[in-house]
Amino acid sequence: MFEGKSVVLGVTGSIAAYKAVDIASKLTQRGLAVDVVMTKAALEFVTALSFRSVTHRPVVTDMWELSSEFSVEHVALAERADVVVVAPATANTIAKLAVGIADEMLSCIVLATRTPVIVAPAMDAGMYSNAITQENLAKLDSRGFTIVGPAHGRLASGLVGMGRLVEADEIMVNVFQVLARKGDLADRQVVVSAGGTREPIDLVRYIGNRSSGKMGYAVAEAARDRGAIVTLISTVTELPPPAGVEVMQVETAHEMRDAVLKASAAADVLIMAAAVADYQPAQVVERKIRRESETLNLELVKTDDILSEVHGDVIKVGFAAESEDLIDRATEKLRNKELDLIAANDVTAEGSGFGTDTNRVTLIDRQGRVEELPLMHKYEVAHHILDRVVVLLSPSQD
């Protein structure tokens, strides 16, 4: 969704400079145009060719090089960029940026640009904790720079402390958040549910389902990448919590109900991708049930229908996991639960439904319009749903 956006990636002289190749590669793979600008010191750690190979674009290494595409108009990059990232940023470069020194291409660009700047420090722990560096970072922070990290861990010196460059994914998320500030869900409150609920039977056993949480997490990430303020209500999953998203951890259908009702009270949108138990044991045995009798009967009672309980000025989107009569059953759920949109999910289709990275859904709205989507990555499915949500949020929609 950030296809064609322009990123200037400034690389400075740190042992972590090699990690910037991964950052450049990942940003390029997401469709961004990445112009790498290296300081002289960075060239001591990693070659310009490495960056050129992954970005397929010229790399700026020398402000005075006349043959360079950017040398004449050295502020061209500063103007074109949608975001400038300095990663790794040494104490020396941070100090220059804090006082406005412009003695090489990168510091010139940062001084000249009006676009948001992300700075990811990487240095020795002593240099990082030094009051001068701390003052410089505080100054950049107060001037609107986004400071990401550093992380705690093993440093080049062999010591353990603060100063490691954060992981590439954390920098990517910050880049996307900056680019999403002008997104079509900017400042909207979006609540997403994900994963499968667990209903306890006794002290050690529960009734669960096969939901991995992937679909809900993809919706949360896609909404975040479009500028939304996202609350993700998640059951226990193996997935890492998405950066830039508030996560509320729940286990049972009842806990999910409470969390959803609370979070959606002030929300613009609620999207329930979670597989919520329809029945729960009537009673939970407070010890481990022994293996004694030949048969064991469990009495189950209906859980609360969460979506039906959410009222008010909130766009409600549900999923319908079906193994037969897909459209009819999903349409029935859309009506009964008073939804604005439902993603009918044929969980018997190849590559679709529980646990997969891909999904095949059919979107049905209140007007009965049916849009069948092909098999695609869950993140892309999420964007198709959010495209419809954006229309539903616009006052002019029919």
Contact set with ligand PMT (CB under 6 A)? 211-215, 253, 272-276, 278, 303, 305-307, 318-321, 333, 345, 347, 353-355, 359
> Of 98 and 253, which has the nearer Cβ to ligand PMT?
253
In 54-116, beta strands by DSSP E: 83-89
Nearest to 249 by CA among 257, 259, 240, 261: 259
> Of 10 and 318, which has the nearer Cβ to ligand PMT?
318
Q: How far is the CB of 217 from ligand PMT (least distance, A)?
A: 8
| Preceding amide of 200 cis, omega within 30 | no
> Of 123 and 190, which has the nearer Cβ to ligand PMT?
190
Q: How far is the CB of 297 from ligand PMT (least distance, A)?
A: 23
Asked whether the beta carbons of 35 and 55 are under 8 A apart, the reply is: yes
> Of 281 and 353, which has the nearer Cβ to ligand PMT?
353
> Of 54 and 385, which has the nearer Cβ to ligand PMT?
385
Asked whether the beta carbons of 385 and 271 are under 8 A apart, the reply is: yes
Q: How far is the CB of 257 from ligand PMT (least distance, A)?
A: 7
Q: Which residues of 16-54 are buried (b: 16+ CB within 10 A; e: fewer)?
A: bbebbbebbbbbbebebbbbbbbbebbbebbebebbeeb
Catalytic residues: 209
| Preceding amide of 88 cis, omega within 30 | yes
Cα 204 from Cα 182, distance rounded (Å):
48
In 323-360, beta strands by DSSP E: 341-346, 358-359
Q: How far is the CB of 316 from ligand PMT (least distance, A)?
A: 9
Q: How far is the CB of 339 from ligand PMT (least distance, A)?
A: 8
Report the residue count for the chain: 398
Nearest to 236 by CA among 226, 227, 223, 247: 247
Beta bridge partners of 322: 346
> Of 58 and 200, which has the nearer Cβ to ligand PMT?
200
Q: How far is the CB of 170 from ligand PMT (least distance, A)?
A: 24
Asked whether the beta carbons of 31 and 82 are under 8 A apart, the reply is: no
The pairing of strands 199-200 and 206-207 is antiparallel
Collect all residues with Cβ–Cβ distance below 8 Å to 6 and sequence separation of at least 6: 32, 33, 35, 80, 81, 82
Cα 210 from Cα 195, distance rounded (Å):
8
> Of 18 and 279, which has the nearer Cβ to ligand PMT?
279
Asked whether the beta carbons of 37 and 51 are under 8 A apart, the reply is: no
Nearest to 7 by CA among 43, 63, 73, 54: 54
Q: How far is the CB of 347 from ligand PMT (least distance, A)?
A: 6
